[in-house]
């Protein structure tokens, strides 16, 4: 809950304010004053009568009623001060920049809990502790710099880390990025990234709210809330990019299944961001570059014209764009193309990239941009590369670029790399409200990442033919641990997941009887060892009784073997499906190519259950090996619709069986419209 008093306070008190602006309490008060806070401003400092020109109160008890308080005092003093403020001064906005809480010790964690209990009791909002503060249009309650000049149509920025927030703001400001608000949530004792995003969703106004949100997240405490409000904002027309720090997970090394080894908490984050439509970033330069792309007009297609006076950057940008699936189309011959060529110096190229040489001028740039915007239908957007060797002024070129960015129908992405040679001209260009992409490869990667991030899916949950009561009954009666084949068969049948016919046997006589029932050819596999191939526990294409007898005797004596599985043979393309339950997130579902390919290539996509058809189809189509699924060099492909249905059915089963912690189906054998599970492992923990 974010209160009005926190966002738009009519009065603020800085407790621990100082005349020493090298201290957090001193610098924070200075920022409030210099950034023109217009409400009543108070300070508490028992050792000074006046702090930075403001009369100081010796203690909280002497204060008048005050709406928001910023605390820069030792952690041990904070609980009593917060209680006094909320109870006696009707304070409903609390910002604690002090450290020494849960990030440091158990004692600090107890102090933090006391504070949260108080603010919850009085329905107040708490930011922090251990944060740099917040910046809203009403007040700059931070103790750091830079304090960006706020722009209502800039970006909202929410950060778990204060120091990282500063670095990200510096990165963005140097590119011309503007900010609408900044929230540093620190320990997120009451209000975290998810709660701030929830507030932005609830107060979103299509006429006045910015449509760009940036997130730096260190821990996702409430994935459902993040998913709900991020996807809601994106459906309202917003664009969200986020860094989730801490992507490694050593715990996956000890996993006993393919899925466990290839899934981590970071896989859950990847699946969550994908489901919500969040563009995932891995560093601050990438985050702020993507934010700057968001600030430009949206490119409606994937075809880019590169306008340049320098060949090298154009080649590097071309490589980056095409590596991500964007196109650099050749400009088709036409009278307009010929007319443009006549306006350029000899030696210029009107192909794509369009190179108008190092001597190209402002008038020529304007003509090229106009042709791309109005005449060249094969172009959806323009990247303009124009630096300077320092020989002559380029201000007139940048003025033309500024004017065209405002009037053209198609987006223009300016790449002005000469930040030393023509520093003043670039500064002037940015001061007019423009962004600048200093590095063409970063821009290319940002554009492709944005293009390849799907919008939130709005699928209905598929339950047709999924017997929920039967699934629950099977799970309720199952023992903990990896399940025997008969339990797996029952679960798949209840969910409508097709499988090969098979039978578990423990004697030679049972093996022969199963062979007669299932028909030739057969497959025989050990039951027990985790990785059957590693112990030579799989036999294929068994065609006669003698082989059944021989192989049964060999398989049953492999260490760890509990029984032998006799199954009908199936053939086709090997696929893989898996799932792993992640705390707070739910089931992460994996799909990819099967057999040993899943281990060698690790070509996988991730989805967060529950999944609908369009999301499952998107998972399939985002595989690097998708061409094999479609059909390749005369080889028949498989039914995407059937594969997607099996993914959705698996998701439906898992939705009602959270006790299933790990699941592998490897392989699913696919040929044409027929796809069947051949081998599977399921681990249940209640």
pLDDT at 260 > cutoff 70 = no
Phi, psi torsion values for 269, nearest 5 degrees = -65, -45
CA atoms of 79 and 94, how far apart (whole Å): 11
CATH top-level class of 573-684? alpha beta
Per-residue three-class SS string for 103-166? CCCHHHHHHHHHHHHHHHHCCCEEECCCCCEEECCCCEEECCCCCCCEEEEEEEEEECCHHHHH
Which of 141-150, 341-350, 384-393 shows the lowest mean pLDDT across its residues? 384-393
Peptide bond preceding 353 in cis form (omega within 30 of 0): yes
Any idea which of 107-121, 243-257, 452-466 has the lowest mean pLDDT?
243-257
**Mean per-residue pLDDT for 509-532?**
89
DSSP letter at 626 equals H
The pLDDT score that the predictor gives to residue 105 is 95
CATH architecture of 299-434: 3-Layer(aba) Sandwich (3.40)
Identify the band that residue 250 occupies on the pLDDT scale cut at 50, 70 and 90.
Answer: very low
Q: DSSP letter at 429?
A: H
Average pLDDT estimate for 447-472: 90
Contacts of 7 (CB under 8 A, 6+ apart): 93, 136, 138
Tokens standing for 96? 């604690």
Q: Model-level pTM?
A: 0.89
As a whole number, mean pLDDT of residues 492-497 equals 96
The residue among 410, 336, 335 whose CA lies nearest residue 373 is 410
122-to-1, 67, 88, 94 alpha-carbon distances in Å: 12, 13, 11, 11
The residue whose two tokens read 């040929």 is 671
Using the predicted structure, report yes or no on whether residue 346 has a pLDDT greater than 90.
Answer: yes
pLDDT of residue 531: 76
Position 259 scores a pLDDT of 57
Pairwise CA distance, residues 660 & 686, whole Å: 8
Average pLDDT estimate for 134-157 = 96
User: Under 8 Å CB-to-CB from 507, ≥6 apart: which residues?
Assistant: none
pLDDT value of residue 42: 98
Q: Which CATH architecture has domain 4-132?
A: 3-Layer(aba) Sandwich (3.40)
CATH superfamily name and code, 468-476+486-568: ATP-grasp fold, A domain (3.30.1490.20)
One fold for both 4-132 and 140-294? yes
By three-state DSSP, how is residue 96 classified? strand
Position 263 pLDDT exceeds 60: no
Q: How many CA atoms lie within 13 A of 566 on its CB side?
A: 30
The sign of the torsion formed by the CA atoms of 17, 21, 23, 28 equals: positive
Helix axis angle, 613-621 relative to 640-655, nearest 10°?
A: 120
| Average pLDDT estimate for 294-321 | 96
Q: Please, which pLDDT band fits residue 189 given cuts at 50, 70 and 90?
A: very high
Query: Residue 262's pLDDT band (boundaries 50, 70, 90)?
Result: low
Top-level CATH class of 140-294? alpha beta
pLDDT value at position 254?
40
* φ, ψ dihedrals at 281, nearest 5°: -125, 165
Q: Strand 522-527 and strand 563-568: pairing?
A: antiparallel
**Residue holding tokens 């529950």?**
610
pLDDT (0 to 100) of residue 251: 40
Residue 596: per-residue pLDDT? 74
| Peptide bond before residue 532 is cis, with ω within 30 degrees of 0 | no
> Model confidence over 2-18: pLDDT tens digits?
999 999 999 999 999 99
* Domain ranges (residues) in the chain: 4-132, 140-294, 299-434, 468-476+486-568, 573-684
The DSSP code sequence of 185-200 is -TT-SS--HHHHHHHH
d(CA 665, CA 678): 7
Rounded CA-CA distance 24/170 in Å is 19
pLDDT classification of 594: cutoffs 50, 70, 90: confident
Cis peptide before 521 (omega within 30 of 0): yes
Condensed to tens digits (0 to 9), the pLDDT of residues 50-100 reads: 999 999 999 999 999 999 999 999 999 999 999 999 999 999 999 999 999
Using 50, 70 and 90 to split pLDDT, how confident is the model at 611?
very high
What stretch of H or E contains 397?
Answer: helix 395-407
- Residue 440 phi, psi (nearest 5): -70, -30
């Amino acid at each position: 809950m974010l209160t009005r008093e926190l966002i738009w306070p009519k009065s603020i008190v800085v407790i621990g304010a100082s005349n020493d602006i090298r201290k957090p309490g001193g610098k924070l008060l200075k920022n409030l004053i210099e950034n023109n806070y217009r409400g009543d401003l108070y300070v508490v400092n028992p050792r000074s009568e006046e702090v930075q020109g403001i009369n100081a109160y010796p203690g909280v008890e002497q204060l008048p009623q005050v709406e928001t308080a910023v605390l820069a005092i030792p952690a041990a003093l904070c609980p009593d001060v917060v209680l006094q403020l909320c109870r006696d001064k009707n304070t409903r906005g609390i910002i604690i920049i002090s450290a020494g809480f849960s990030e440091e010790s158990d004692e600090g964690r107890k102090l933090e809990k006391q504070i949260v209990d108080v603010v919850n009791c009085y329905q107040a909002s708490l930011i922090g502790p251990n944060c740099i503060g917040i910046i809203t249009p009403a007040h700059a309650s931070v103790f750091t710099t830079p304090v960006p000049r706020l722009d209502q149509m800039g970006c909202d920025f929410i950060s778990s880390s204060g120091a990282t927030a500063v670095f990200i703001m510096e990165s963005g400001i140097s590119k011309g990025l503007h900010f609408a608000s900044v929230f540093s949530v620190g320990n997120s004792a009451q209000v975290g990234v998810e709660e701030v995003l929830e507030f932005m969703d609830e107060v979103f106004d299509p006429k006045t709210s910015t449509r760009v949100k940036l997130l730096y997240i260190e821990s996702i405490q409430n994935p459902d809330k993040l998913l709900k409000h991020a996807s809601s904002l994106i459906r309202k027309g917003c664009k969200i990019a986020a860094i989730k720090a801490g992507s490694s997970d050593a715990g996956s090394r000890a996993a006993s299944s393919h899925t466990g080894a290839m899934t981590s908490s970071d896989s859950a984050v990847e699946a969550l961001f994908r489901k919500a439509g969040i563009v995932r970033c891995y560093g601050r330069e990438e985050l702020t570059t993507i934010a700057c792309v968001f600030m430009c007009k949206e490119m409606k297609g994937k075809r880019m014209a590169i306008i340049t006076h320098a060949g090298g950057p154009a080649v590097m940008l071309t490589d980056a764009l095409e590596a991500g699936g964007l196109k650099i189309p050749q400009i088709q011959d036409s009278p307009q193309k010929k007319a443009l060529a006549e306006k350029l110096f000899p030696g210029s190229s009107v192909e794509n990239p369009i190179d108008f040489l190092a001597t190209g001028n402002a008038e020529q740039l304007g003509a090229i941009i106009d042709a791309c915007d109005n005449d060249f239908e094969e172009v959806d957007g323009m990247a303009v590369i124009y630096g300077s060797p320092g020989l002559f002024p380029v201000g007139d070129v940048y003025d033309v670029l500024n004017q065209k960015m405002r009037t053209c129908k198609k987006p223009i992405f300016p790449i002005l790399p000469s930040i030393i040679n023509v520093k003043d001209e670039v500064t002037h260009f940015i001061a007019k409200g423009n962004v600048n992409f200093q590095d063409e490869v970063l821009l290319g990667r940002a554009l492709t990442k944005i293009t390849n991030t799907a919008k939130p899916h709005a699928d209905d949950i598929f339950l047709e033919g999924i017997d929920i009561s039967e699934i629950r009954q099977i799970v309720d009666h199952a023992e903990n641990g990896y399940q025997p084949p008969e339990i797996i068969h029952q679960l798949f049948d209840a969910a409508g997941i097709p499988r090969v016919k098979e039978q578990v046997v423990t004697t030679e006589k049972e093996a022969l009887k199963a062979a007669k029932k299932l028909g030739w050819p057969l497959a025989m596999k050990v039951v027990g060892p985790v990785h059957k191939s590693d112990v030579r526990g799989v036999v294929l294409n068994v065609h006669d009784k003698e082989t059944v007898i021989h192989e049964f005797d060999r398989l049953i004596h492999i260490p760890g073997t509990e029984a032998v599985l006799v199954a009908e043979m199936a053939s086709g393309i090997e696929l893989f499906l898996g799932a792993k339950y992640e705390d707070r997130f739910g089931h992460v579902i994996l799909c990819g190519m099967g057999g040993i390919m899943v281990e060698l290539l690790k070509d996988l996509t991730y989805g967060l259950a529950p999944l609908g058809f369009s999301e499952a189809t998107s998972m399939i189509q985002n595989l690097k090996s998708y061409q094999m699924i479609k059909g390749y060099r005369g080889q028949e492909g498989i039914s995407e619709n059937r594969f997607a249905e099996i993914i959705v059915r698996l998701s439906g089963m898992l939705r009602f069986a959270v006790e299933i912690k790990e699941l592998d189906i490897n392989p699913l054998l696919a040929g044409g419209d027929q796809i069947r599970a051949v081998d599977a492992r399921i681990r249940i923990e209640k």
